[in-house]
Amino acid sequence: MGKQDNEHLNIKVALQQDEIEQFRTIFLDLHPYDQALFYMELSKEERMKIYSYLSPLEVANLMEHIDLYDTEEFILEMDPRFSSAVLAEMATDDAVDVLNEMEKDKVASFLTIMDEESANEIKKLLHYEEKTAGSIMTTEYVAINKSQTVKETLEQLKRDAPEAETIYYLYVVDEDKHLVGVLSLRDLIISDEDTRIEDIMGENVVYVSVGKDQEEVAQMIRDYDFLALPVVDFRKHLLGIITVDDILDVMDEEASDDYSKLAAVDVDRPEDNPLAAARKRLPWLIILLFLGMLTASLIGMFEETIAQVALLAAFIPVIAGTAGNTGTQALAVAVRGLATGEYGKGDKFKLILKEAGTGLIIGIVCGVVIFGIIALWKGQLYLGLLVGVTLMITLTVATLAGSLVPLIMERLKIDPAVASGPFITTINDIISIVIYFGIATAFMNLLID
C-alpha cells in the first residue's frame, strides 16, 4: 500500500469515527488536488460530513481541482447557504463556469443568498457570451496607477495580493482605467522606491478584447508564453485577466469538443443514461445513414455493369475503405493545423498542394500494389489495371477532399472539426463509387473480353 493510500485510509477512519480535529489535520495537510481525489471517492453521506467539518473556503479550494460537470452536482447537494458561500470563495471565473452549467432559476437562487460583493462580481461575468474571453476572465487581479511610486505599489500589493489570482504581472492603468502598460513583479522589486511606475513599465502591452473567442486566447497565451493576459473593452478599459490555468481548462475543453466532432458525436457525460447518450449520438448517425443510402443508390445505378462483371463488386470495400482512411488522415492534419494556428493564408495553399502531392504518391503506390495482387490472384490484367487506376485517382481526390473540406468550413465560419471522420469517409465513399464504376462502365468491353 502506497503513502497516498495510507493517508486516504487514515482520513477515512477519522471521518467515519467523527474525529474532526484529526480529520482536519490530515486532510488539510494534503495538496488540494489530492484532497479532491479523496473527496471524489466518498459516498454522498460521507461528503455531507465533510461539509460540516470544513469551511466554505477549504471546500472551494478542493472544488477547483474537480471536473466542471461533477462540481455542479456536488454544489447542488450541499445546503444552499453553504454552497453559496463556497461559490463566493471560489475564483470568480471558476464560479461563473459552474453557474453557467446550471438552470437559470438555480443560478438566481444562489446569487440571492450570496453576499452582495461576490454576487456582483459574478453577475459581471455571467452576461458575457460563453467561450469568449469575458466568460473565462477573472476580476481578481492587481491593477496599479501609472502615477504611483514603487513604494506605494509595494504597499498596495501587500493589501491586494491575497485576493488576486496572480501578481507576476501588474497591469498599469491611467486615471480613466485605460490599460496603458504592464510591469513584472521582478522589475518592481529591483527598482528604487521613489521611481514612478510610468518610468519603468512596459508600454507595449499584449491584450485581448472581451469578446474574443477563447480558443484564440489560448493560442495567444501559448504563442507568447504568458502566465496571464489582460482583457479590455472596445475603449481599452481593463476589465480582467485570463490566467494560464484557465487556458489549460480551455484547451482541454476545446480538445474534447474537437474530438467529439471528429467522431461525429457529442461526448457523453459519465452520468448520462443510455437514452441521453443515444439522443446525443443519433443526429449525426441519421445524417450519415441518409448519405449511406445515397451511396447505395449510386451502386444501384451501375447494376448493369456489375451484372456483366460480378467480380467488380468484390473490390468496392477495398476502394471505398482505403479512400475513407486516406481522407481521414488528411482531415486530421488539416484540422490540427487550423486548431493550432500553424497555417496562415499562404500556408493553406501550400497545405493543399502538399496533400495533393501526398495523395498522388499514395495513390500510385497503392494502385501498383493492388494491380499486382489482382493480376497474380485472378490472372486478369485489365481488371487489375482498372482497380489500380481507380485507386490512384480515388486516393488523390480523397486526400485532397480531406484537406479542402476543413479549409472551406473555416472560410464559412464553421468549426473545421465538424468535417468529422465519419462524414468525410462517407463523402469519399460516394466519390470512390462514382469514379470506380464510371471507369468500369467506360472500359466494359475490355473487361468482358
- pLDDT for 312: 77
Q: Given the C-alpha cell 478599459, which residue does it identify?
A: 237
How distant is the alpha carbon of residue 56 from its chain centre?
30
- The angle, 0 to 180 degrees and rounded to 10, between the axes of the packed helices 244-262 and 316-340 is 160
What would the grid cell of residue 201 be?
A: 513599465
Could you give the CA distance from residue 400 to residue 83 in angstroms, rounded to a whole number? 53
- pLDDT for 92: 85
Residue 28 neighbours by CB under 8 Å, 6+ apart: 35, 58
| CATH number for position 104 | 1.25.60.10
- In this structure, is residue 268 part of a structural domain? no
Contact (CB, 8 A) for 209 and 233 = yes
Closest residue by Cα to residue 323 from 390, 259, 375: 390
170 φ/ψ sector (left φ>0, alpha ψ -120 to 50, else beta): beta
Count of all residues that appear for the chain in the document: 449
Residues 148 and 122 in one domain: no
Domain edge (last residue) among 245, 265, 290 = 245
- In this structure, is residue 160 part of a structural domain? yes
Residues 147 and 123 in one domain: no
* Residue ranges of the chain with per-residue pLDDT less than 50: 1, 268
| ∠ Cα 230 231 232 (to 5°) | 120
- pLDDT for 58: 93
Domain containing residue 26: 3-127
Query: What is the DSSP track for 300-332?
Result: HHTHHHHHH-GGGGGGHHHHHHHHHHHHHHHHH
Number of structural domains in the chain: 3
Closest residue by Cα to residue 265 from 243, 294, 286: 286
| CATH number for position 320 | 1.10.357.20
Residues 353 and 434 in one domain: yes
- In this structure, is residue 269 part of a structural domain? no
Count Cβ atoms below 10 Å from residue 109 Cβ, excluding itself.
15
- pLDDT for 119: 87
Residues 412 and 377 in one domain: yes
Residues 297 and 439 in one domain: yes
User: Residue 42: helix, strand or coil by DSSP?
Assistant: coil
Could you give the CA distance from residue 328 to residue 323 in angstroms, rounded to a whole number? 9
Residues 287 and 322 in one domain: yes
Could you give the CA distance from residue 23 to residue 41 in angstroms, rounded to a whole number? 16
90 burial via Cβ count (<10 Å: 0-12, 13-18, 19+): buried
Closest residue by Cα to residue 284 from 264, 269, 260: 264
Strands 179-184 and 169-173: antiparallel
